[in-house]
Structure 1
Amino acid sequence: MVTVKAPEMYLNEYGIRKETGKYLSEFGPRVFIVAGKTAWEETGRDVTAGLAAWHCVPDVRIMTGYPTVETVRQYAWEAYVAKADAVLGIGGGRVIDAAKAAGNLCGLPVAALPTIAATCACWAARSILYDAEGSFDRIQWNRENTRLILADTEILTRAPRRTLASGILDSMAKWYEFEPLIAADPGDLVLRHDVATARLTLDLLREEGPEVYRGGGTPKQWQRVTDAIFYLTGATGSFAAGNAYRGFAHSWYFSTTRIPQSRHRMHGEKVAFGLLVQFLLAGKDEAWLRDFMDTLLMYDMTDVPGDWQVPDEETMIRELSERIIREWPVVLEKKQAESASQIAEAVREASGRLRKARKNALRES
């Protein structure tokens, strides 16, 4: 059996935030909004006016901190008490994950208005939840996906470049993580479908990502790149047949959330480093490694664990490596690594290579 979870409607248009009422009114007049502080400052006036034009009434909560189980339950209760007809998440992945989980908990349709293109959270049928400090807690698989996504190209193009780079690398990671899994189960059609979609994403982002990241690119190119991050990457998780697909880079990300000094780094930034470690573990050749490090340099993603200013870098690397083996058994099951010590050695080598690449780039600039 294959289950499919995908939005009913996805729009990626310039200024679409001004038309929220046109689309949200189909659910009813009362809209419970979960928004990030900066996101609401950026969109609030237009969203409120757009809702009012269609006789919709917003009930806004500004979310700070991480999406926790407690936060989700509180929002679900408040939406229920307010007799909301729909939940709208406005902001980045954490805010939208909270909105999705809260809407599912109280049985309301969920819409998303992403203000940064840093992940595919607006599309994904799951919510990543953390504890109050920012350590990964759990993946909550929502019964229903977001019904509606309103991606406003105008807002997305104004977002910090760093968020776009994070989204590009996180999206590219899907092919790098999924493709090696085929060897163990070549008959898994859902996996092969996901790999094919991930390959399309990778090729598109390789072709058009750099120019868009540098601030160039036509409006159509911006739209295609953000479509790749939201729609194509999200679609790799829309089909399920009972198997969970995860590569090493995301296991690395989840484990690093336990390090308080690392929490200023974005999801895609950590995934990017995790990919380099994954390639070293897989024995990729020098040409492959150089090409990928050139990509990291191009997107200004050269952060290494030693930059996190922890008291003891070596202890941190060892504990991270042991945690990956302990908490993410898929790493051993799928032969992504043989031991914690092998992971630790690959992390050291990846750090050394990136530090050297940074110095060389600085010398040449």
Structure 2
Amino acid sequence: MSFHVVSRVGPQQYLSEKDAYDYLPEFLKSLSANRLLILHGIKSWRKAAPYFPNLAQAGFDVFQMTFSGECSHKEIDRVIQEIKNLDIDLIIGLGGGKVIDTAKAAAVKSGDCRLIILPTMASNCAAWSALSVLYEENGISIGHELYPRQSSLVLIEPRVILDSPVDYFIAGIADTLAKWYESDSLLTHIGTNHLALLYARDSAKICHDIPLKYAIQAVDDMKRGILSNAWQLVMETNIIAGGLVGGFGDEYGRATAAHSIHDALTYFPETVHLLHGAKVAYGVLVQLALEKKWEEILKLLPFYQQLQLPTNLQDLHLEACSIQDIHKLAAFSVSPDKTIHLLPFEVNEATVFEAIQQLELCTQAYLAKK
């Protein structure tokens, strides 16, 4: 297994502090950007608006566009058309991961349009990464696209993210934790001391250590509206550290089995209510089952339960699925395009099916002891 490593480390500038949005006018002037398009979700804009500077009053031509809800080719094309129609210099992606991924795609594919990202949730590393996760209009995952450039600026107003839904924050914790388990299987089998890969490995370790140490406290603080050090650390780990794994490691720091299980789950309408990170959390357990790391699973189960992350088919609302349906889930996860095949051993429908079945027995035994 050998990849051509191209590191796309992060945005040109990053600022995370109270009143961070106030930096926008100064930064926009430094870029000579005058015609701006703000792509946002309705709820995200409502949360961010109280902290947002009056860019029109500062001399900029400002246009707004409401996100349709899915990072699809259709939505990306719609935003690109608006960029061209309005002769936009710079797009601001304000919202969650799908808004941000759509803004990234539109900025690159429209030509010279620059990009600023204002995440309003810490549910993933979308603000940091140079890729977009793509979906069909019906929510089925269809892979991702990498881009040759990243954003000019990422701004975080902690009070906006603190006021976001806690379940998205928890999903972000699960998605971040997966960076360690998915990249571990790649970064420990590469046989090279490429410095970028060592940085990727260290970033992945942060994705493991900080959530397991601080996430429970951080979630509790968020529920109580406390802007604590624990919460700030976990929030930035979700956004930055996860992005740095793939940013430094390129294909060695990408997803493996956990995200392939996530993608397969999107084919089942019973899971549509579950957030990306929740599906990935279950995928981590399936990956560990494939790797026969049962002690690690048992270490994670109490953490999962405290955060109410799915540990079995019942938690995914798939308990009524037939054996044939579980075989379909396994088959979807090992289609030729899936990253599960990056694991350093052969994976097929039968081995994934067996891992899911063994995981069911493991979790049942754990719950029976409680």
TM-score (norm 2): 0.88
User: Mean Cα displacement is larger for which, 108-117 or 49-58?
Assistant: 49-58
Q: Report if the CA contact (8 A) 1:166-1:267 is conserved.
A: yes
Please state if 1:346 is matched with 2:355. Answer: yes
In structure 1, the partner of 2:290 is 281
Percent same amino acid at aligned positions? 23
**CA displacement at 1:21 relative to structure 2:** 3.0
In structure 2, the partner of 1:300 is 308
In structure 2, the partner of 1:184 is 189
Deviation readout 1:157-213 (Å, 9 max, x if unpaired): 111211111111111111111112234322162433311211023222222222111
In structure 2, the partner of 1:238 is 247
Structure 1 residues 218 and 207: alpha-carbon distance in aligned structure 2, compared to 1, 3 A threshold: farther
User: Mean Cα displacement is larger for which, 95-104 or 57-66?
Assistant: 57-66
Residue type of the partner of 2:233? R
In structure 1, the partner of 2:97 is 93
Deviation readout 1:215-273 (Å, 9 max, x if unpaired): 26653332222221111211112235665743210111122222222121111111111
Please state if 1:13 is matched with 2:21. Answer: no
In structure 1, the partner of 2:43 is 38
Q: Report if the CA contact (8 A) 2:221-2:231 is conserved.
A: no
Structure 1 residues 24 and 298: alpha-carbon distance in aligned structure 2, compared to 1, 3 A threshold: farther
**CA displacement at 1:38 relative to structure 2:** 0.9
| Runs ≥4 residues deviating over 6 A | none
Structure 1 residues 241 and 116: alpha-carbon distance in aligned structure 2, compared to 1, 3 A threshold: closer
Q: Superposed, which structure 2 residues align to 1:303-342 within 5 Å?
A: 304-306=312-314, 307-308=316-317, 312-328=321-337, 330-335=339-344, 338-342=347-351
Please state if 1:79 is matched with 2:87. Answer: no
User: Mean Cα displacement is larger for which, 73-82 or 251-260?
Assistant: 251-260
Q: 2: CA distance between counterparts of 1:14 and 1:350? A: 44
User: Mean Cα displacement is larger for which, 271-280 or 136-145?
Assistant: 136-145
Q: Superposed, which structure 2 residues align to 1:161-240 within 5 Å?
A: 161-187=166-192, 189=194, 190-215=196-221, 219-239=228-248
In the comparison of the two structures, how many residue pairs are matched? 359
In structure 2, the partner of 1:253 is 262
**CA displacement at 1:283 relative to structure 2:** 1.1
Q: Report if the CA contact (8 A) 1:251-1:328 is conserved.
A: no
Q: 1: CA distance between counterparts of 2:366 and 2:234? A: 27
Q: RMSD in angstroms over aligned alpha carbons?
A: 2.4
In structure 2, the partner of 1:271 is 280
Structure 1 residues not aligned, in runs of 5+: none
Q: 2: CA distance between counterparts of 1:241 and 1:205? A: 23
User: Mean Cα displacement is larger for which, 24-33 or 106-115?
Assistant: 24-33
Q: Report if the CA contact (8 A) 1:12-1:223 is conserved.
A: no
Structure 2 residues not aligned, in runs of 5+: none
Structure 1 residues 82 and 50: alpha-carbon distance in aligned structure 2, compared to 1, 3 A threshold: same
Q: Report if the CA contact (8 A) 1:22-1:54 is conserved.
A: no
User: Mean Cα displacement is larger for which, 160-169 or 185-194?
Assistant: 185-194
Q: 2: CA distance between counterparts of 1:221 and 1:20? A: 27
Structure 1 residues 51 and 74: alpha-carbon distance in aligned structure 2, compared to 1, 3 A threshold: same
Residue type of the partner of 2:81? W
Structure 1 residues 123 and 332: alpha-carbon distance in aligned structure 2, compared to 1, 3 A threshold: closer
Q: 2: CA distance between counterparts of 1:303 and 1:2? A: 34
In structure 1, the partner of 2:142 is 137
**CA displacement at 1:336 relative to structure 2:** 5.2
TM-score (norm 1): 0.89
Structure 1 residues 215 and 77: alpha-carbon distance in aligned structure 2, compared to 1, 3 A threshold: same
Q: 1: CA distance between counterparts of 2:58 and 2:364? A: 54
Q: Report if the CA contact (8 A) 1:72-1:98 is conserved.
A: yes
Q: Report if the CA contact (8 A) 2:256-2:341 is conserved.
A: no
Deviation readout 1:265-306 (Å, 9 max, x if unpaired): 1111111111111111111143x2221001101111136444
User: Mean Cα displacement is larger for which, 89-98 or 2-11?
Assistant: 2-11
Structure 1 residues 242 and 219: alpha-carbon distance in aligned structure 2, compared to 1, 3 A threshold: closer
Deviation readout 1:56-105 (Å, 9 max, x if unpaired): 23211111221111211110121122111111111110110001100111
In structure 2, the partner of 1:104 is 108
**CA displacement at 1:123 relative to structure 2:** 0.7
Structure 1 residues 166 and 242: alpha-carbon distance in aligned structure 2, compared to 1, 3 A threshold: closer
Residue type of the partner of 2:348? S
Structure 1 residues 113 and 235: alpha-carbon distance in aligned structure 2, compared to 1, 3 A threshold: same
Residue type of the partner of 2:215? G
Q: 2: CA distance between counterparts of 1:58 and 1:200? A: 38
**CA displacement at 1:330 relative to structure 2:** 4.4
SS of equivalent to 2:184:
helix
Q: Report if the CA contact (8 A) 1:278-1:336 is conserved.
A: no
